[in-house]
Amino acid sequence: MRAPAWQVALVCGGLVFACTSPRERLYTLSGAEPPAAVTPPTLHVLVGPVTIPEAVDRPQLVVRYNTVRLVALEQERWAEPLREAIPRVLSEVIGSKLPSASVTRFAAGPAARWDVRLIVNVARFEAIPGERVIIETHWWLRATDDKTVPEGNSVARVTVQGGPQDYDAIVAAEATGLAEIGAELARVIESQAARSATP
């Protein structure tokens, strides 16, 4: 018994749609090359916890559409959770700027030893396609000697080197912004470590 023509058309149409539907593209935030191993390290740094806004804590890339609306891009997705990628990049950058330090991520498990602990709240992680990326953080430093340690804000504003549909350029700008903040935090950690070492 032959199927009605409309059923055949529906099945064929579904096959065509399945074959032509856009495929997901996966993105990663690039960090920094790790420095050569230092034995033994003179400073142990623990990075974390690092919190991020709930609006961007999802598999999709999230961009700002207008002043009141964010859009999750269904086909543009992170290859790893953003809540893991951001601490990784910050740790890698800090480690590359402090070659005499051992830098461990909080998510990697309890550190056997740390001299300085960096806690970061990413208050804003915003991408405006074709324009700019804005990353705002508030951070705290803790030391094992319980001395007064600083807290502060670090902000990065990076121009997106591409058009509104260039999502590679958006992710590259986000990585650049995190690298700028990581470099600033490395300077703060280095300065604090030097003060702590002064009698």
Half-sphere exposure of residue 112: CA atoms within 13 angstroms, side-chain side: 1
Spatial distance between the Cα atoms of 138 and 124, rounded to a whole number of angstroms: 10
pLDDT band at 108 (very low <50, low <70, confident <90, very high): low
In the prediction, which pLDDT does 5 show? 45
Q: pTM of this prediction?
A: 0.84
- What mean pLDDT comes out for the span 167-186? 97
Beta-bridge partner residues of 199: none
Res 71 pLDDT > 50: yes
- CA proximity to 103, closest of 27, 143, 113: 113
| Residue count of the chain | 199
Res 140 pLDDT > 60: yes
Domain extent for 126: 5-197
In the prediction, which pLDDT does 16 show? 45
The structural domain count of the chain equals 1
Res 9 pLDDT > 80: no
- CA proximity to 87, closest of 141, 44, 49: 49
Res 112 pLDDT > 90: no
More confident residue, 199 or 166: 166
pLDDT band at 195 (very low <50, low <70, confident <90, very high): confident
Q: Are 149 and 141 in contact (CB under 8 A)?
A: yes
Res 147 pLDDT > 70: no
More confident residue, 137 or 194: 137
Res 2 pLDDT > 70: no
Backbone Cα Rg of the chain = 22
In the prediction, which pLDDT does 10 show? 39
Range of lowest pLDDT (8-22, 68-82, 121-135): 8-22
Res 8 pLDDT > 50: no
More confident residue, 9 or 136: 136
Range of lowest pLDDT (62-76, 104-118, 145-159): 104-118
What's the DSSP call for residue 178? H
Q: Which two three-digit tokens encode residue 60?
A: 């999709």
Longest dimension (CA), the chain: 93
- Enumerate residues 6+ apart whose C-beta is below 8 A from 150: 141, 188, 192
How many helices and strands in the chain, by DSSP H and E?
Answer: 3, 8
In the prediction, which pLDDT does 133 show? 98
The CATH number linked to 125 is 3.40.50.10610
Specify the DSSP element, H or E, that contains 49: strand 43-51
pLDDT band at 7 (very low <50, low <70, confident <90, very high): very low
Res 131 pLDDT > 80: yes
- CA proximity to 123, closest of 86, 161, 85: 86
Spatial distance between the Cα atoms of 19 and 111, rounded to a whole number of angstroms: 49
Beta-strand runs (E) in 79-168: 101-105, 116-128, 132-143, 151-159
